[in-house]
Copies of this chain bind each other. A is one copy, B any other.
Amino acid sequence: MSETIRSALREESTNIVKFNEALSDIIDESMQNGLFQSRFNPQHIASVLVGIYFNALITWSSAETKEDLKEIFHPQFEIVWEGIAAQ
């Protein structure tokens, strides 16, 4: 990665890590309440979701696509969801 993005990520990573933690807490609570089931760790599930979310944002912000953010995110979410829900 270029030095520019590396330094920006150093600044931004706290926010990304916080988003990850918040999502992880929500998933954990939902699993404990029986609203949501998965054999995977809530923190790892949250990381995967945050990963595809940011990647969708990056693809969307690039000049090369005219796709809607939802159109970029959704097919990635479908793949990930299959994994999360796998028995």
Contacts and interface: CB of A to CB of B under 8 A. Distances in A.
When all copies of this chain in the complex are counted, the total is: 2
Interface string A40-59: 11001101101111111111
B47 A76 contact: yes
Nearest to A8: B8
A69 B80 CA distance: 20
Interface of A: 1-2, 4-17, 20, 40-41, 44-45, 47-48, 50-59, 61-64, 72, 75-76, 78-84, 86
B57 A54 contact: no
Contacts of A83: 78-84, 86
14 contacts: A2-B8, A2-B15, A5-B5, A5-B9, A13-B58, A13-B62, A17-B62, A17-B64, A40-B79, A41-B75, A47-B55, A48-B79, A51-B55, A54-B54
